[in-house]
Chain A
Amino acid sequence: MAINTGDTAWVLVSMALVMLMTPAVGFFYGGMVRKKSILSTIMMCFASLILISIQWVLFGYTLAFGPTHGGLIGGLKWLGLVGVGQAPNPDYAATIPALAFMIFQAAFAIVTPSLIVGAFVERIKFAAFLIFTALWATLVYDPVAHWVWGVGGWLRMMGTLDFAGGIVVHVTAGFSALAIAMVIGKRRGYGKDNMEPSNIPLVVLGAVLLWFGWFGFNGGSALAANGIAVSAVVVTNTAGAAAALVWMFLSWLHRRPSVLGVATGAIVGLAAVTPASGFIDPLSAMAIGAIAAVISYYMIVLRMKLRIDESLDVFACHGMGGAWGAIATGIFASRAINPAGNNGLLFGNPGLLWTQIFAVVVTAAFAFVLTLVLATIVDILVGLRVNANEELVGLDISQHAESIA
């Protein structure tokens, strides 16, 4: 197989773009928590980058993409990346080195657990976070990545479409966030004390870095520098903008158009278009983004009413955004955009819609239940939560002996 230099260059650049998204999540979340836990929030995202970088090389990649065991999990053939070399693996990407595909996928495996951080900010024990994240990446992310993306993966075999990870990344992270938030419980004083965001410009900086990185996330998922990559980049930008615009007006209806709202809307739109990004046209992207904003906005309203402290709304933004986007793929996907994809409901194939809904329900349930179990086990083993004093002082000082002030 011949290596295509353009394809390889684009995938490597995309990998770097996606790698930037994990610290960007740290800034996005860090700016929304109280001043006393901003560093801990950034640290957890950074820790996800360094921890999963190692996990992926050692065994994560082979569990996700190794030769399948019954469509459920990859085999251990590529343990420690032995056998993953500079020659392409045509099963995944015929024109780039297998190592390029591996490191591009590493960036996805890294960013996904960092999304969950929003669920338990300001109260988790750092050691417990590390154990949970290592377990979650291995037992939730790697299997689901295999089901949906691995050759022979059972959801892939059913015809599930997930171009860049609406299901693998956003549905798993979102539903797991809800589960672990329920296990760890509310922040002390939630609903009573002030929860002033520490730094809104930092939130916006994180959001725009995420937006920037998303061009690699979705565009790079074409695994080639081709028309589908360009199409994915165009629909990505369009959906992010549409969702941010809708969120701006929703926020204005409430009182004032807040930049915190607009930044949130953009992330919701970007998450929603992710699974569909290789299969749809720009007008469909606009619809997907706009509807995603409405769904996530009112899911946050509902979440607040129910007084669940899923602190930074990973479930409402990523879980709902990703689920809607994956289902919308079953509506808007078109072979005219991507012959390797499929037609959705609007193009005469209602079957795809059912396949997509099934895949979302299965992965959401799997991620939710397994996270409940894992979080409970970690809680029993080392305790998920810091003690009352450590929480009151803030995680920056109590977990890291650092402070911004």
Chain B
Amino acid sequence: MKKIEAIIRSEKLDELREALDAQGFSGMTVTDVRGRGKQKGITLEWRVGEYRVEFMPKIKVEIVVAANNLEKVINIVLAVCSTGNIGDGKIFISDVLDVIRISSKERGEGVL
């Protein structure tokens, strides 16, 4: 099992959820986050002159999938969330040891 953590543009969330849903990936965890990458924040207008916002508001979507579905989900995220501009975000992938459904106490990939 793999965990995909996609840091995406806030405005892309609905579109991404629909695209994942359509391919049968309905489970995900969404968090409002602030962060920075190469873009290093943004300059906004003060009353006179400007001020810096060093951490950009983004959304983090966490999806855990079976290893054989990994590329499929990555491609959905890339297709929906890439605008080709700076600030599109990043995808982090990691291994997941196990998964447990709390209600039924079942374990393993079948829970996903």
- Chain B residues 26-50 with CB under 8 Å of chain A are 44-50
Residue of B nearest to A247 (CB): B47
A300 and B47 form a contact (CB under 8 A): yes
A194 and B54 form a contact (CB under 8 A): yes
For the residues of A in contact with B, the DSSP-based class is helix
Chain A window 269-301, contacts with chain B (Cβ cutoff 8 Å), 1 for yes, 0 for no: 000000000000000000000000000010011
Please give, as numbers and ranges, the residues of chain A lying within 8 Å of B49 by CB-CB distance.
Answer: 254, 300-301, 304
Question: Which listed residue, B45, B47, B52, touches A194 by the CB 8 Å rule?
Answer: B52
A196 and B48 form a contact (CB under 8 A): no
Question: Which listed residue, B45, B47, B51, touches A196 by the CB 8 Å rule?
Answer: B51
Query: Could you say which of A65-73, A102-110, A258-266, A346-354 contacts chain B?
Result: A258-266
- Kindly state the separation between the CA atoms of A398 and B50 in the bound complex, as whole angstroms: 29
For the residues of B in contact with A, the DSSP-based class is strand
B53 within 8 A of A: yes
A256 within 8 A of B: yes
- Kindly state the separation between the CA atoms of A379 and B49 in the bound complex, as whole angstroms: 32
Please give, as numbers and ranges, the residues of chain A lying within 8 Å of B46 by CB-CB distance.
Answer: 197, 258, 260
A255 and B51 form a contact (CB under 8 A): no
Please give, as numbers and ranges, the residues of chain B lying within 8 Å of A260 by CB-CB distance.
Answer: 45-47
A264 and B47 form a contact (CB under 8 A): yes
A195 within 8 A of B: yes
- Kindly state the separation between the CA atoms of A264 and B49 in the bound complex, as whole angstroms: 13
- Kindly state the separation between the CA atoms of A264 and B45 in the bound complex, as whole angstroms: 13
Write the nearest CB–CB distance from B34 to chain A, whole angstroms.
Answer: 11
- Kindly state the separation between the CA atoms of A251 and B88 in the bound complex, as whole angstroms: 29
- Chain A residues 306-335 with CB under 8 Å of chain B are 313
User: Which 4 A-B pairs have CB atoms at the shortest separation, nearest pair first?
Assistant: A258-B45, A300-B48, A264-B47, A260-B47
B interface residues, Cβ below 8 angstroms from A? 44-54
Beyond A194-B54, A254-B45, 19 extra complex contacts between A and B, CB < 8 Å: A194-B52, A194-B53, A196-B51, A197-B51, A251-B45, A251-B47, A251-B48, A254-B48, A255-B45, A255-B50, A256-B45, A258-B46, A260-B45, A264-B48, A297-B48, A300-B47, A300-B49, A304-B48, A313-B47
